[in-house]
Amino acid sequence: MGETPMAKSVDNDNGLSPGPHVERPTLAELARAAGVNKSTASRALRGNRAIGTETRERIQQLAAELNYEPNASARRLFRAQTDVLAFTSPSLTRGNDGADPFLAELLSAVTSEAARYHQDVLLCNTQAGPEELETYRRVVGGHHADGLILMDLRPDDPRLEYLRAKGYPHVLFGRSALDMEEARHYAYPWVEVDNRAGARAGTRHMIELGHTRIGFLGADEAYICELDRLAGYRDTLAAADIPYDSGLCTEGGITQEDGYRLTRHLLERAEPPTAIFAASDVLAVGAMRAAADAGRTVGREFPVIGFDDLGLATFVSPSLTTLRQPIEYAGRMLVRLLIGMLRGTPEPEAHLLLQPELIVRDSTRRA
């Protein structure tokens, strides 16, 4: 009768008892089996790059074979660390259905990458306002996490001033300031998508289709990313000698219902837009429905473009033209940057500006 994976026998040369009922080894026993000291074994298991690749992989493989599991409580007490990363957002549930598909895709990447480093993720739902910093005071003051991932950055964001003053490890999804040079000097890492470049590409695509009255949904001046997208839209209009019409831009909105409502409002104007650029795919889906209900044929007559390239973009009809953000890569890099900071092995590049890609689908095709 074969052995179960939980009861592998080991060689006597390792100093561990053979047989199907062997108990899980301690760190000292694992180190002895590997022929190294406890400190080396511990650092190898944590993926510390100071340990040579061959040695690190050999110890990790041996740990897997022996079914070694670290004493998490003892390790955390010894290192005064929690092995928890906090993820904070002004809203972890957006919309009437209680779900934000962009946030869901980003969190999937973050939690998956954190698990590779044996880290848990603490989700913190925060709202901008007088009580906003209280969440951060609880996390930092109570040492509920070793570091923070923040998103939805705003100009002069008070959270950054607080975390810098505390010297608390954090990484940003989005940059720290509107001015790129200022953001490049921020002392903590960030991952940003070049929203301005993406908006330029999307607006240029609409102009090449022959449109000059392009509605813009989601020009929310509260957030750096949306200010960038609006700036890219305006840049491209100016380059094409098309006057900017503020009446074609709507502020705010994050749900499909918002996209529908805002588009209906634009279409009721005396001179309505002939195309829509939405600052998110979710807004774009609402815009497509509003256009159809108003008698426009999306794609052939009335092009609509989004931003994100979420999974839903290929399932709506017509399929949605959009600016693809590398969401999974961004989520994984946020974790790697934070882990590198916490472990004293920082990534070579601390400030990452990722390029979006224009994905053309049926919502902007004439045929």
Give the tens place of pLDDT for each residue, 321-333. 999 999 999 999 9
pLDDT the model gives residue 100? 81
Three-class SS string for the chain?
CCCCHHHCCCCHHHCCCCCCCCCCCCHHHHHHHHCCCHHHHHHHHCCCCCCCHHHHHHHHHHHHHCCCCCCHHHHHHHHCCCCEEEEEECCCCCCCCCCCHHHHHHHHHHHHHHHHCCCEEEEEECCCCCCHHHHHHHHHHCCCCCEEEEECCCCCCHHHHHHHHHCCCEEEECCCCCCHHHHHCCCCCEEEECHHHHHHHHHHHHHHCCCCCEEEECCCCCCHHHHHHHHHHHHHHHHCCCCCCHHHEECCCCCHHHHHHHHHHHHCCCCCCCEEEECCHHHHHHHHHHHHHCCCCECCCECEEEEECCHHHHCCCCCCEEEECCHHHHHHHHHHHHHHHHHCCCCCCCEEEECCEEECCHHHCCC
Per-residue pLDDT reduced to its tens digit, 26-53: 888 889 999 999 889 888 887 777 888 8
Span 84-193+327-355 CATH architecture: 3-Layer(aba) Sandwich (3.40)
- Residue intervals of the chain classified under CATH 3.40.50.2300 are 84-193+327-355, 195-325+358-364
188 and 172 Cβ atoms separated by less than 8 Å = yes
- Residue intervals of the chain classified under CATH 1.10.260.40 are 5-70
Per-residue pLDDT reduced to its tens digit, 169-191: 999 999 999 999 999 999 999 99
Nearest to 322 by CA among 282, 266, 354: 282
Give bridge partners of residue 308 from the DSSP assignment: 324
What is the model's pTM? 0.77
Average pLDDT, the chain: 87
CATH code assigned to 195-325+358-364: 3.40.50.2300
Per-residue pLDDT reduced to its tens digit, 297-321: 999 899 999 999 999 999 999 999 9
Dihedral through CA 253, CA 257, CA 261, CA 267, nearest 10? Answer: 100
Span 5-70 CATH architecture: Orthogonal Bundle (1.10)
pLDDT over 90 at 232, yes or no: yes
Nearest to 150 by CA among 326, 359, 336, 334: 334
Give bridge partners of residue 175 from the DSSP assignment: none
Query: At 11, is the pLDDT very low, low, confident or very high (cuts 50, 70, 90)?
Result: very low
Q: Pick the residue with more confidence: 168 or 7?
A: 168
Contacts 24+ apart (CB under 8 A), 35-38: none
Q: Pick the residue with more confidence: 250 or 6?
A: 250
